[in-house]
Structure 1
C-alpha cells in the first residue's frame, strides 16, 4: 500500500479524541528559518495520554508537550503563538536547543466544533484530494477546496493566519517500471513524495508489484508528454529498459522545466543521449538541466543501492529549492 501523507496519523489522533469527547491540542510550526529542527508545517497533536507527530524534537518539543497537557488539565484556554530561538545567548524565547535557527509554534486547543474540519482534512489526505486548511484566531480552523501559490503561508501580527495545502507538495515521476524503479519507489515513499510510475510494458511484474507508488500507468512512451507536466515541485527520473526508449522519453520532456530531471545510465550513455538530443535541436540550456549519470557517488551496484543514491540526490535538490 502506498505511504500516506506524513500528517495523516496526526489528524487521525485529533479526530479520534474529539469523537470520544476528549480534549486535544494541535501544535504546529507556522514559521521557521535557519538551522531549525522544526520546519514550517511540522505538527503534532497532544492528548492527555498520547501524542503523534513532531515539531522538532528534543527538549523544546518536550516542553511544548508538557505545556499542551497543562492546558488540557486546566480546560483549554486561548491559542498561543510563541517564537522559539535556538541560541543560548537569546535574551528571550530560548528553546533550550543550540541549533542557531528559529521557529514559531502555534498551540491551538482543538474544540468539538473543529471535528468537521479535521474529518475533512483526513478525507482529503486519504484520497489525495486537492485542498488546503487554514487556522486563525478570528475564523478558527477551516478547510478549502482551492489551493494557493505557496504550499505554506503565514501572516503574523494581531490578525495572524496560517494556511497550508493538503497532501504532497512534491511529485516524483519514475519513467520505467523495472527493478531500480521498484527500489526507488520504496525509498521515496518515506520522503514525502507523491509517486507515479510509468512504463510501456503491460505485463511487467515489477510494475504490477510496485505497491509503494500512488499511481501506476501503462502508456506509449512517444505520447507520454501529457502525463509528465512541468512544475517547480515535480521531479522526474528516467530509467526505461534501454537507450532507445530513454531517448524517446526525453524527446517528449527535456525542454520542460522541472525541479529535477535525470536519466539513469553510464557517463558514456548519457553523453550519447545529450549528443543525439542536441542534434535533434534541443538547446544547450535544456541539456544543462538534464542530470546524468544520476545519484550521489557511493559506488552503488544493486538496485537498492542505486535507489538510495538517487533518493539522496533528490533530497539535495529539494532542500536547495525549498521555501
Structure 2
C-alpha cells in the first residue's frame, strides 16, 4: 500500500458520487523490470480521465484508448501487457518486462468508504476481491502481510504498514514528521513535557504524553517500526532507547554528535543491553550529507530510514566515536 492508492480511492469515490462510470485497475503480477509493484492501483473515469498509475505511461494510454473506444468491462477482467519483447518495448516495460492487471467496474462504493474511515483511524486493512463474482470484502490485516494473488482472488493492503515513533516534539520533529508521512509511515510523536505537547499540531500524526519507554512497551514494536530519539534529554531519550533496542524495530536512532553518541552507548552498556543490541543504534542519526538546518537533518534521517528499510548499505554514514569507558556522564 502507499498513500497514492488512498488518493485513488478518494477520487474514485468522488467520481461515483457524480454518477460517472469508474473502473479500477490493479497490478496483479510483474515479470522483469515492470515500473509499478503488485497492488498498485489506478482509477479510470468513463471519459478516460485517470488517477494513479500501473506502469508510469504507455499502459495507461492504452487503457484510456480502450475506454474511449467503448470497451467497458462489466466484471473483473484480466489484462496482460508485454508478452513479447516488442510489445514490452511498445508499452514502456524495460528488459522484456510483463505486467498482468485486473480491470473491474466500480459498482458498490461501500467498501471504499469503509477503507477510508478505517485507515483514517490508523488501521491496516485488506481488500479481498473475488475475480469470479466481483465481490469485495474488507478484512483486518497485519504489518507482516503483503499483496497476494492466487489466480482466483486478490488481497491488497491499505493503511500504515510502516510506523515511526519520534521521541520529542521539537522543531526537528515538526519538520521530520511530514516527510515521514509522505513516505507512508504512520507517525507517532511522544513527549511528556507540557511546554512541548501543548503546541504539537502536525496534521495526520498521533501524539502521546506518556513516558517514551512506557509507550514503546505498549506499542509492541515490530520489524516494520522505527524509533528516532530527538530530545537531547537522556532522561527521555535513553529510557526510550533501552526499550527500543531490545525490540525487533528495524531502525533505532538518536540525535547527537559523535562524542555524545559514544557517551550514550557507554551509559546504555550499564543496563541489561548486550553489545549487539547497543550496536543497533544509529548514531549520529541520519546520513552524512553535511546537514545543518532542521530541514536538512530531517532529509538525512528519512534517507537513512528508506535505505535501512530496503536493506541498502549505508555508504554515506558518519562513523561514531569509540564508546567511552571512563568518566561516564550519567546525567
For the pair 1:65 / 2:64, whether they are aligned, the reply is yes
For the pair 1:145 / 2:139, whether they are aligned, the reply is yes
Query: How far 1:94 sits from its partner (Å)?
Result: 5.0
Q: TM-score, structure 2 length as denominator? A: 0.83
The separation in 2 between residues aligned to 1:120 and 1:216, in whole angstroms, is 24
Query: How far 1:253 sits from its partner (Å)?
Result: 2.2
For the pair 1:110 / 2:102, whether they are aligned, the reply is no
1:195, 1:214 within 8 Å by CA — same for their partners in 2?
A: yes
Aligned residues: 309
Superimposed CA distance per residue, residues 251-310 of structure 1 (whole angstroms, 9 cap, x where no aligned partner)? 222111112111111111112222221232311221222211121111101100000110
For the pair 1:261 / 2:255, whether they are aligned, the reply is no
2:284 to 276, 293, 304: 293
CA RMSD of aligned residues (A): 2.7
- What's the counterpart of residue 154 of structure 1? 149
The separation in 2 between residues aligned to 1:151 and 1:134, in whole angstroms, is 12
- What's the counterpart of residue 306 of structure 1? 297
Query: How far 1:10 sits from its partner (Å)?
Result: 1.1
Instruction: Give structure 2 stretches of 5+ with no counterpart.
Output: 313-331
The separation in 2 between residues aligned to 1:294 and 1:34, in whole angstroms, is 35
1:238 to 229, 252, 256: 229
Instruction: Give structure 1 stretches of 5+ with no counterpart.
Output: none
Query: How far 1:218 sits from its partner (Å)?
Result: 1.0
Query: How far 1:129 sits from its partner (Å)?
Result: 3.2
Where 1:60 maps in the other structure, the secondary structure is helix
The separation in 2 between residues aligned to 1:260 and 1:133, in whole angstroms, is 29
1:91-102 to structure 2, matched below 5 A, reads 96-97=91-92, 99-100=94-95, 102=97
2:161 to 169, 173, 180: 169
For the pair 1:25 / 2:23, whether they are aligned, the reply is yes
Where 2:227 maps in the other structure, the secondary structure is strand
Where 1:210 maps in the other structure, the secondary structure is coil
The separation in 2 between residues aligned to 1:190 and 1:75, in whole angstroms, is 34
For the pair 1:81 / 2:78, whether they are aligned, the reply is yes
- What's the counterpart of residue 194 of structure 1? 186
Deviating more after overlay: 55-64 vs 42-51: 55-64
Query: How far 1:244 sits from its partner (Å)?
Result: 4.1
